[in-house]
Structure 1
């Protein structure tokens, strides 16, 4: 249940004065445009209870903001650009969002960042979405005195563990204020990168085995895709690290010192992710080099075999070429008298075979005919 009802009227009046609500002097009235309404879910909670539901009008939020210690509002704008702007117009008025903040919400290709706008703190981060390839979704957050307002790019996120903690009263989130909720959201976003990195590490191990067992062009294509995924992760997490550093370093009234301690742990996680990405990229580069080196070695082996075959046929070709000049032995006894021998032809063949065999033995003695043993990965 909400806090004491006798104080509800005073709290409602205070909230009405704090936010840009109808009835406030000089305010703008809410728009009644025909824009599609966004999906709005609300989770309100205190140490001993919580409430979760969807709302249809911005004014419906006033009771939650007035009567609960912390209110988490999640809005999914329909569409993008002007369509999304029209859909969230009333909520932007309610929370006094600056037009530049609204611009950042609807243009969903922002880098992670932190900005302070008088009445609230604006944080943009990027969370992973599972589409079979590495893609990120923008998550825009606003931290106020007793609320966290989040705008999602699409209707899914990685924040269900945070909601479960609120519903079940696990962890510290129900005992803390809104700034801790913002930390919990950012921490869930950052930690969602680890399972993907584990998957990419397993794929790297599989590709390493495949390459060492002979590999093919498919391994190279897969390796290229993994490197692109790692680059996408790096582009998303690097600005997030800088945003966390700004939250920890800069002094503002929205974050308590106790929450900054947890943000430092989140910052360490972001640094760890960057280190893993760099390490896996180096492993990927090394595997690509190994793959191309093995492909080059295979080509060299083929060229060596062709060279040996060509070398073995040089003596017979030379002998056949000499006796193919067709000098008439009747004109001069110096003109290939062996052409008239009874065993001339067999002797020519035997000579060709002996010279080729001798050349083959010579190449074997030099080690040209020995194939290198295939490298196997150690299982120890």
Structure 2
């Protein structure tokens, strides 16, 4: 039995932090003692519903915040914590700068599309795709485990009833409901959302019985609202529906006939036995099929550039049109996805991977001098990053999340693919 302090980067509704909490519950069920350290937010209720202890930290703080690092050190001493697990770079750095420098084992999880260059190289990491794992190893990280976004295949299943959601939303039984369930943010997601809106508009004009449901909220909400309003006006009905954020989106997944998405939302969709169209950026879209599956398992549930049907809204329309026209195709691809979710992406499999990562962190205790040297290197790299961010903000070119910037993602894809070229 391990005493684990789990520190998610956020308590907003979102795939990676929900995965972290679900895994905490699974680890608790496997006999470990979990303490969740987190800011206020909607997912705190989920932590408490699972019967996990929540230790609060301020929502308004620096990133990283050395007050939080000291708080983590105190928590480790008082609770005799065996390992601290930080999610994304600010919690990883705070865990390393606090209890890590005092000798407590630390591991990190990075579910962003790239690993920040100032994360300590000796901290064992888990990442979400094989390409990112290889890229992190090439950058000098010593131990990197593949932890694909897990799915609660018991709660997220074809047995969840979506009929009530369809009736309440005014969706007719004859309509093919296409659903996007994600945060509405510019990085990674916005291009695919808007392109899907355009594609569904074209399908409607062609006489196809479709509706598009968008569940979520975020900084890009106004832009998505405007695109939906324009298309609805052009077709003369509410073709595209936006619900905002739902604390429990399971009925929406269950109500859908087709899921469009990426990352954890995509995997959650296949757990409901729904056919999946993965969207990315630079025009990327691709159906999950037995033929495309290997690509997704390697690079993750995202992509850059045209897929097998071309790029942009036209390719999305072609993919969706095949699904709209064929109930058999929807059923076969839904069954394929569900089998994949059960065999590869269950919480149980993910918890086993985390236990191996915790054991590695505990075994690899470095001496104090090595930890201080690593801290100095990280501090130098972080300072350079902060200075560059300030310069970008001054220019007006700064992104909210550099780890998910298109250029960083493309660099990861190209670096590892290039290493395989003879």
TM-score by length of 2: 0.20
Q: By percentage of residues, which structure has more helix?
A: 1
Query: Relative contact order, CA 8 A, sep 6+: which one is greater?
Result: 2
TM-score by length of 1: 0.22
